[in-house]
Amino acid sequence: MIALLAILGTALSAVGAILLAFVEPFETYALLTPTGTIPITVGLRVDELSSTVAVMVTMVALAIQIYSVGYMKHDVRYPTFATLVGLFTLAMLTVVLSADLIMLYVGWEIMGVCSYFLIGHHWEKPSASAAAIKSFLMTRFGDVGFLFGIFVLGVAAGSFRITDVIAAVPTMSSGTVLTAALLLLVGVVGKAAQFPLHSWLPDAMAGPAPVSALIHAATMVAAGAYVVALLYPVFLAAPLALDVLAVIAVISMLGAALAALVTDDLKRVLAYSTISQLSVMFAALAVGGRTQAIAHLLSHAAFKALLFLCAGAVIVAVGSNLTSDMGGLRRRMPLSFLTMTVGFAALAGIPPTVGFFSKDAVIAAAEHAPNWLVFIGLLLTVGLTAAYTTRAWLRTFFGAGPDVREVSKIMTIPLTLLALVALLLGFVGLWFESLRPELLSAVLSLVLAALGVLGVFLIWRGDPAQDPADSLGRLRGVFGSAFGTDTLYERTVARGVMRLANEVVRVDDSVVGKSVRGTGLGARALGGVLRRTQNGNPQFYVTAVLAGVVVIAVGVVILQ
């Protein structure tokens, strides 16, 4: 019954999103509460961008809800899980369709809370609890900047309505716009797991595979790219913010791709690829390619949801996340093999998959921009992406491996549908001139992808039992630790926070605690004194009354 309600609810949301995609852009709002200064409104803002992303969110969420019925059929916490997935989807739709920045922020924060519970679904595992706390704290840090960025824009525009804010951007001072844009970037970087707030996302793989698909494909991390595209006039008016975004994107895309190249955990490989692919979107936005960034956002949602759900199927069958425990699955799990091959091809940008068209559009946009750092970073990322996807594909489906069988049909149906979308969606982009492949960028990306595929294949073919990443020698440890960022944070930020927390505990105990305890002891002592007057002796009471009368009489005489 719970599964049916979860699927039907998400299906209704998908139908509603599809209907919105066919209506003319509109906005409706109402005053939520009088604040005395800047009003907060609640309402819908539907345009081409929001309606398209809403369709993407609901369709991927529907596939995940269907898949989860088979994936979590033995999990006693499935009702809670399905409810949280539904709430997560609602929160993302709130971000996408809100007409007011404050309401957008409400959805933004609800997603953070849902991610905490979903990543920590298996809370009895220390790794899951630690990952949930880490994701919550790192994204909350970014959200502080995001909230202040909203305040800056709202105060400058005199309204939190998105339409009013965008209309007021030309009238704002350059300092105000730059401050708002940089503060918003803090929240975007945290939510989208970009450097330096990136390390929570690989650890979030402690959650179930459907959670990973939801967070990585349709919600949460995608919200960062969506917000930049939504408020793009703000960033265009602050070129320095776009330059900062470009540097962050290049560092993130290359660093994450190198980490994915040596990681043995299949889900962590996909997690690093998410960081890298989100950076591709931000790179497009940094060079003025808003349409190309949104195209890659939609493309990424399709093939990344497919890859995570395929990974979940493989992990359920094998009983391990490690590619070193897999191998030879192409014959034992033929449907998972075919669908995941499509997903890997789309991730690597191999035609005719959707990933080829959207990634080529981003590279073409960077080619025509004056920012060569972004263009070179994208080309290097193409080669590295092809290399780590080939490595994961070979180690999962080829060579010797365990004797397993294909997963249930209710899990393979979403895989088949998502694979078809990943194969066919790219051709839709041919209707738009800005998304059509260009000769130079297409040739460059295909050559680099071929080099990445061929290089890893030749190393693997020499010794199929050997991990191709071993050929990197000492660099494997450097890349595998994501360049030691977690260790650096542990030695600096974590220790500083722990020291501050210990000092707060000491002050709380020695100052606040003593004051509270002193108040209690004082009240008890006073009560002891007063208690002596209530001894139950009538003579004492009469004497006290007479004494009081005498004191009052003497006082009256003296005062006269």
List CB contacts of 553: < 8 A, sequence separation 6 or more.
none
105-109, 202-206, 294-298, 430-434, range with the lowest pLDDT: 430-434
Q: Which residue has the higher pLDDT, 404 or 254?
A: 254
- On the question of pLDDT at 107 being above 70, the answer is yes
Q: State phi, psi for 43 to the nearest 5 degrees.
A: 175, 180
- For residue 34, pLDDT over 80 is answered with no
For the chain, percent of residues with pLDDT exceeding 70: 97
pLDDT value at position 16?
A: 93
* pLDDT band (50, 70, 90) for residue 123: confident
By percentage, how much of the chain surpasses pLDDT 90? 52
Q: What is the pLDDT of residue 438?
A: 83
Please name every residue paired with 43 in a beta bridge, in sequence order, or none if there are none: 29
User: Does residue 342 carry a pLDDT above 90?
Assistant: yes
pLDDT for the residue numbered 262: 92
**What's the CA dihedral at 487, 280, 390, 344 to 10 degrees?**
120
- Is the model more confident about 493 or about 148? 148
Neighbours of 117 (CB within 10 A): 19
- Top mean pLDDT of 88-97, 476-485, 491-500 is at 88-97
Identify which has the larger pLDDT, 489 or 323. Answer: 323
Cβ proximity of 301 and 278 under 8 Å:
no
- Among the residue ranges 96-100, 433-437, 481-485, the one predicted with the least confidence is 433-437
Average pLDDT over residues 124-138: 87
Residue 536 pLDDT > 70: no
Averaged pLDDT, 158-182: 94
Q: CA 122 to CA 81: how far, in whole Å?
A: 11
Q: How much is the CA Rg of the chain, to the nearest whole Å?
A: 29
**Residue that wins the pLDDT comparison between 205 and 449:** 449
Domain residue extents for the chain: 1-237, 239-472, 481-520
> Which residues on neighbouring strands pair with residue 31, listed in sequence order?
41
pLDDT, residue 370, reads 83
Report the pLDDT value the prediction gives residue 185, as an integer from 0 to 100.
95
Residue 454 CB contacts under 8 Å (≥ 6 apart), including other chains: none
pLDDT category, 17, cuts 50, 70, 90? very high
Cα distances (Å, whole numbers) of residue 301 to 212, 213, 223, 260, 353: 12, 9, 12, 19, 13
pLDDT tens per residue across span 311-326: 999 998 898 889 988 9
Confidence at 45, pLDDT banded by 50, 70, 90: very high
Q: Is the confidence at residue 539, as pLDDT, over 80? A: no
Whole-number pLDDT of residue 533: 65
- pLDDT higher than 90, residue 306: yes
Q: What is the pTM of this model?
A: 0.88
Mean pLDDT of 177-191: 94
Token output for 556: 């009256």
Mean pLDDT of the chain: 88
pLDDT at 535: 62
- 345 touches 385 (CB < 8 A): no
Residues 6+ positions from 419 with CB-CB distance below 8 Å? 306, 338, 339, 342, 343
Q: Which tokens in the block code for residue 228?
A: 């930049």
Distances (CA, A) of 381 to 254, 285, 295, 374, 419: 6, 17, 18, 10, 23
Q: What is the pLDDT of residue 216?
A: 76
Residue, of 487 and 148, whose pLDDT is higher: 148
d(CA 203, CA 360): 30
What's the Cα-to-Cα distance from 456 to each of 277, 385, 395, 451, rounded to whole Å?
A: 20, 11, 11, 9
**pLDDT of 440 over the 90 cut:** no
Residue in the structure block whose two tokens are 């990322």: 381
Q: What is the pLDDT of residues 247-305, one digit of tens each?
A: 999 999 999 999 999 999 999 999 999 999 999 999 999 999 999 999 999 999 999 99
